Structure 1
Amino acid sequence: MSKNSVDLTFVCGSSQSSEFPKSTSDWNSHFIDKLGVRCKQCDIFEIIINHWRLFTLFEEDYLEIESCLKACDFETDYGCLEDISVEKAFAPEFQWKLRSQSQENEILREPLVSKWFLGKLTEINRCLSSIISQTKSDETEQKLKYLVLFEKVLQAFGFMTLGEPFIVTRKAQILGRTMTSKPDIICCQDDWEQQTVCVCQAIKSVPKEGDDFAPPKKKLRVTCSPDEEIIGNCDQGIPLQHIGDLFVHLDNSPISDRILGFIIEKTWVQLTFLKVYPTAMKRIRNTPVNIAGSLILNDGEYPQFHYSRRYNFLNRQDRKDLFKALLLVKIMLVRRQAARKR
């Protein structure tokens, strides 16, 4: 665990309603606390390699990832799109451009991305330019644009994605009742099973310090806003609804007791992970919702929710780390599918 890891024990805020939510969009701190979720910040690679562990990789797999990462590296380095003038929206110096003519051939030699990356790069640049040039978009439209932008990034690494209006509402039994979920993006395996690899949720900007709903500095607590609940401070705010989406989609994951997710805020991205032991999930499904207090589980069986720090894919170094994480997930899927076909 990294030295910056934070172990967050949920502290219930003002929302203490005992009413059972019918959708994950209504999850609040009281319901998360009732399920006994344990939340912790972890290194992004630790989450994928040590916790998700879809497939054990060998030295040659890591060498392939490093080779692919080098081929897909761009010198473009920005903080946020809002700082880029409209005049530069279509300028060559802004775009995720290739370092040299030979870089295209480098990408085409990498099997992990050769089928998709260059084509999606053009679409990514068009999305970036559109966001900059259309500065008068309302908040809902802007959120949708950033969501589509990240979906293009996922597709550039060969992930099969589903977004609105193609996402079907999924149901699961939680505390003896039916719970529904409809995240913003679902990533599926590229095969007939179409199991859910990860679920993604886009959020609005986290309030800045001094705003009405900014959390206090001294103690990490749950704070409420009209639209969503946030855990922790502004740098690591987690919408509780996203945790609910992971719970509902858990059964459809390639590994039934763990699943990945992404939280998107403009060009900032966090990797998330939920693990629920089968014995604990059985209790979570069947325990009546009207029990007093939180679920009592055996030590070590409480649901584990891990999340990475935020990565800005406009920033060159952040982009390298995020791309490496996507490549790790992709190669694990590829190796697992190949092993199952033998």
Structure 2
Amino acid sequence: MDENEVPSNTSRWRIELIDKFGIRRENTDPDKILQKWRICLLNDSEAAAIDAIVDKTYLEEFDFNSLEHIPFHINIPFKIWGIKFEPRTIGMFKTFNENLEEFRFHLYNILRQMYMPKKRENQGPHGIGYQVLFQKLLRCIEFRMQSQLEVPTGQINICGQEVTSKADIVGLKCDDPSKILFICEEKSSQVKRKCCSEGTAYSPVKKKRHPSADVEFAAEVTSSGSESLDMPSNVHAQHIGELLSYLECSVTDEGLLGMVIQKTDVMFTYLKIDPESVEKIKRRKESGPVTFDTTKQEDPVFFYTKQFNLLRREDRRTIFKTLVTIKMMEKKVCCTVL
């Protein structure tokens, strides 16, 4: 690909193109991302309410490094598998218990597929399972979403080139389906396709025997940290392209919130960019990079976090707090009674 070419699909974007667009990247934490994105200000009582909700919802009993560390036996029926917990009464989320049950059921099914005897060698879990698992988690926070075939194609015209992108999940403003709260992109399936194309075969999951496999499992934490999956810089480029493609439908004129899913890891993102900067990128000349007036602070920034594993207790608390805060802000600006 020519270094000045703008591919028509964001799945082919490379980080060199983002550099030519003048979009700076900054690693940060979810709190700072929400401070940049915030569609409204939350008062002290609302902030305290978020902490109280997270304490009730984030499942502190559940703590594992990976799917393979979750005690499981193929003969355990769903009704006796999982965490034993009392129903939670959460005023803000009326259907939390029902949605959490759906999350647990899908997680159970993923594990069941992992430990089922394989008819063929080198057959791994179905890739779409991770995306659906995260979507079930979003349902617990009662976001209104479009997924898979429902999601419209995002579009933007850059230097005469029509660019398209397709998000995996789109979170919609609760009282206006034309406005986007966030977009989610799954990367685990693309990693798999790359591995297969390079001739890397999947090894079947090795069955592990756990003392608690035949009873309700207890939390298990190993001394080693969770496995960290690499997030190549070109993944940033593709995700930035996706954010640009859906930007015109964002709930705010100053950017768009995003998430990248890689297996059970979640990365929060935010592309901060004002309309004038978008126009400069659209009118970019192929011969050189886009330049911005730094004195006016118009240079766009792509904020991104480290990856948080939704299976690990402390990581999941951060994930829940971030999602609940987004929902609290949405609730405050919406007229709809949740």
TM tier, shorter chain? 0.7 to 0.9
Give 1:82's aligned residue: 68
Query: What is the aligned counterpart of 2:82 among 89, 95, 109?
Result: 95
- Match status 1:24 vs 2:10: yes
- 1:168 offset after TM fit, Å? 1.6
1:311 aligns with 2:295: no
Counterpart check, 1:257 vs 2:254: yes
Distance 1:293 1:54, change over 3 A: same
Which residue is equivalent to 1:296?
A: 291
Q: Is the alpha carbon distance of 1:242 and 1:138 closer, same or farther for their aligned partners in structure 2, counting shifts above 3 Å?
A: farther
- Displacement, 1:234? 5.2
| Corresponding residue number in structure 2 for 1:64 | 49
Partner of residue 36, structure 2? 51
Q: 1:250–1:257: 8 Å Cα contact kept in structure 2? A: no
Equivalent position of 1:110 in the other structure: 91
Contact 1:206 1:237 in 2 (8 A): no
Taking a change above 3 Å as real, the CA distance of residues 16 and 30 of structure 1, as seen in their structure-2 partners, is farther
CA distance in structure 2 between the aligned counterparts of 1:96 and 1:120, rounded to whole angstroms:
15
Pairwise CA distance, 1:256: 1.8
Superimposed CA distance per residue, residues 198-237 of structure 1 (whole angstroms, 9 cap, x where no aligned partner)? 1111112898xxxx99xxxxxxxxxxx99xxxxxx95554
Shift of 1:17: 3.7
Q: 1:249 to 1:205 in 2, by over 3 A?
A: closer
**Partner residue, 2:112:** 133
Q: Give the count of matched residue pairs.
A: 293
Q: How far has the Cα of 1:42 moved from its partner? A: 0.6
Shift in Å, 1:125: 0.9
Hey, what does 2:203 align to over in structure 1?
A: none
Counterpart for residue 242 of structure 2: 245
- Quick one: which of 252, 268, 273 aligns to 2:265? 268
Q: Is the 8 A contact 1:198 1:260 kept in 2?
A: yes
Q: Distance in 1 between matches of 2:186 and 2:331?
A: 27
> Where do residues 164-183 of structure 1 align in structure 2 (5 Å cutoff)?
164-183=148-167
Aligned amino acid, residue 65 of structure 2: G
Mean CA deviation greater in 293-302 or 314-323? 293-302
Contact 1:270 1:310 in 2 (8 A): yes
Partner of 1:31, secondary structure, is helix
Query: Is 1:35 matched up with 2:32?
Result: no
Distance of 1:97 and 1:161 partners within structure 2 = 29
Q: Deviations over 1:158-202 (max 9, x none)?
A: 111111111121211223322111111111112234311111111
Aligned equivalents of 1:169, 1:279: Cα separation in 2: 23
- Between the aligned partners of 1:160 and 1:96, the Cα distance in structure 2 is 27
Query: Superposition RMSD on alpha carbons, in Å?
Result: 2.7
TM-score (normalised: structure 1): 0.78
Q: How has the CA–CA distance of structure 1 residues 247 and 253 changed in structure 2, closer, same or farther, with 3 Å as cutoff?
A: same
Unmatched 5+ residue regions in structure 1?
1-14, 214-224, 227-232
Q: CA deviation at 1:73?
A: 3.4
Residue number among 307, 311, 327 corresponding to 1:330 in the alignment: 327
- Give the direction of change, closer, same or farther, for the CA distance of 1:162–1:179 in structure 2 (3 Å limit): same
Deviation of residue 72 (structure 1)? Answer: 1.0
The share of aligned pairs that are identical, in percent, is 28
Secondary structure of residue in 2 paired with 1:165:
helix
> Which amino acid counterpart does residue 290 of structure 2 have in structure 1?
L
Normalised by the length of structure 2, the TM-score is: 0.79
Post-superposition offset of 1:142: 2.6
Retained in 1: the 8 A contact 2:184–2:258?
yes
Aligned to 1:12: none
**Aligned counterpart, 1:149:** 133
User: Equivalents in 2 of 1:295, 1:309: separation in Å?
Assistant: 28
SS in 1 for 2:126: helix
Q: Tell me the equivalent position of 1:189.
A: 173
